[in-house]
Every structure is written in structure tokens, then in C-alpha cells.
Amino acid sequence: MPQPSGLGCSALIRIANSYRVFDFGASDGQSGQVPLPQVLSVVIVSFNAREHLRRCLDSIYAHVTCDFEVCVIDNASRDGSADMVAYGYPKVRLLRNRRNEGYSAAANFAADAAAGDVILFLNPDSELAEDALSDAATYLRENQDVGALGLRLLDPGGTAQPSVRRFPGLTTALFNRHSPPPRLSDGEDADVTDVDWISGACLMTTHAVLDNVGQFDEGFFYGFEDADFCQRLRRAGLRAVYYPMTSVTHTIGVSARSTPTRAVVAHHRGMWRYYRRYLASNPLIDAIVCFSIGLRCAVQVAAILPRRLTPRRGRP
């Protein structure tokens, strides 16, 4: 299959939602029935994170020992990320969007292009210090009642990040508080644990799950698509599991910082979409929540704009 690098993916994304596209093997003539090889497909949605993406790719190729491929889909970065991948990493399957399609749409398109049976959605601001992926992929293959697997995430200083949480509730929508993380063991005695919601910064699943449960909802441009996906997993009788045996270093919010206003608006829209789908029940409470989300979004945008409009030193 020819690489669509340099081509816009807007129309192709819609096609990919209806037709599975493979570039390997022989089909039995039925859509979706091509046997998938045991290959881990690492899917990275890139947006203005060139140097972090470079370190991410270097760490993957330095440490992962299982059969794997890397698919990078660039959401119209302005920092040369796509060209850096094209010229510096010939093994990477590179897809380019002419505009920022949002996280969910880009991730879905790359997942359709991926060749492996297991898919890891990994943020470009992540790094491996060890082979954190091979054993996790094996665990997912051996436990077919697991729909998603989340690895232990560390910030650059080595502190554990709350990479798994309980499902967002009313207080999340009203006060913009993160839903609380479950009580988890950590360190050498950490246990594999069932959880509600796995962060999309490092979420492992399978092609079979995506085919059966559905991909990320593209109505979530940025934020809450992972919580929505895990809700649908649970309703399909599948488990979301925290797998802390290995860890990944993650720098939070690198891409969002390049377009902070758009990120804030998209996050709050995602919050409202999630609330309407899973939490809405009382018209009065719903109206209060809608007002609260909208007001908080406006306040945060108002706080960002003066910083964006202030000229940098040395410029007129």
C-alpha cells in the first residue's frame, strides 16, 4: 500500500472508519477477517512536539525487543516534526494531515493503517528507559477479556503520574477536578489491577477490540476520548487493567502548550460531551453543569489571551 505521506487525511479518515485497510497477507474475502500477525503497532499522534517525538522514537527503537512497527500521524505540526520523521526514521510509517484533525480522528486513522494485532496509543512526549512494551503486549494477547491496558507513567523527575482514574463524575464536570485515582500498590510489589479509566497518553488495546467496541469517538477533539472509550469497554463486558510492571516517562501537555486556547476549549467541549452521554439526568442540574463548564472555559481562555498577546522581549 503506498504511503499517504504528504497527503491530507480528512476524507480518508471517513473512509477508514468503514473499511479496514491492510498491506499484508491475503484476505479470505470478508472485511476485517485478515489474520493479523503478532506485531505491536505503536501509534503516535504528533503535534508540535518535534524534539520530544525524536526522543520518543529513539527510546522505542533502543529498547523494544518484540516484533513492532511505529506509525506516526502528524496533525499539521508547524515545527517540522513530520519532516524530521521522514528524513530521520525511514522505518516509521508516516502519515500527514493537512490540518489538525484532533487527537481521536488522527489516532483512528493511524490505527486503521497499523498492521499489528496489538496497538499502543502513545503520546509523543513519552520515553522508554527499558522495554516497557513487550511483556505488556503478551499479557494483553493472553487475556482476551482485557480491552485496554495502562502502563505506569512517571514524570521526568521519576514521580508516578495518576495514569489511571475512576470514571469522571459530577464533581469533575462542576469543578474541573480530576476524578480520583484508585488505591493502587506501587513499586516492586505493584499488582495488576482492574481500573475504570486509563489515560490515553499510554493506552494499549487490540485491533479486535477496536473492531468490536469501536474506535475513539471523533466528537472528542482533545480530552475525554480515553474515558469514553473505557466506558464503552465496560459496557461491552471488557476490563481496563493497570499494568505497573514496567514504566514509561511522560511529560504532560507538550502539544497542548503550543495552542493553549484551542486545547482549553476542546477540553471543556469534551467534558460536556462526556457529561451528556454518561451523567446527564436532571434538566436543572444539567443546566448548572453546562453553565459551570462554559464559565470555567471562558475564565481560562481569558487568562491565557493576555500572555499570548504580549509581545516577546526584543520584538516591537
**The pTM is what?**
0.81
The total number of structural domains that make up the chain: 2
**274 shares a domain with 210:** no
Q: Please report how the helices 283-309 and 260-278 are oriented relative to each other, as an axis angle in degrees rounded to 10.
A: 170
**293 shares a domain with 215:** no
**Three-state DSSP class for residue 269:** helix
Closest CA to 252 of 230, 267, 273, 239: 267
pLDDT of the residue at 30: 46
Tell me the chain's radius of gyration from C-alpha atoms.
19
**17 shares a domain with 144:** yes
Render pLDDT for 35-48 as a digit per residue (tens, 0 to 9). 677 999 999 999 89
**305 shares a domain with 178:** no
As a dihedral over the C-alpha atoms of residue 11, residue 13, residue 17, residue 21, rounded to 10 degrees, the angle is 100
Q: Which residue has the cell 506509525?
A: 71
**157 shares a domain with 264:** no
Closest CA to 105 of 21, 225, 270: 225
**Domain limit, last residue, from 218, 234, 251:** 251
Instruction: Please list the ranges in the chain whose pLDDT falls under 50.
Output: 1-32, 177, 183, 185-189, 312-316
**174 shares a domain with 155:** yes
pLDDT of the residue at 187: 45
**178 shares a domain with 135:** yes
pLDDT of the residue at 169: 77
**206 shares a domain with 147:** yes
**272 shares a domain with 238:** no
Domain that holds residue 150: 10-251
**73 shares a domain with 141:** yes
170 part of a folded domain? yes
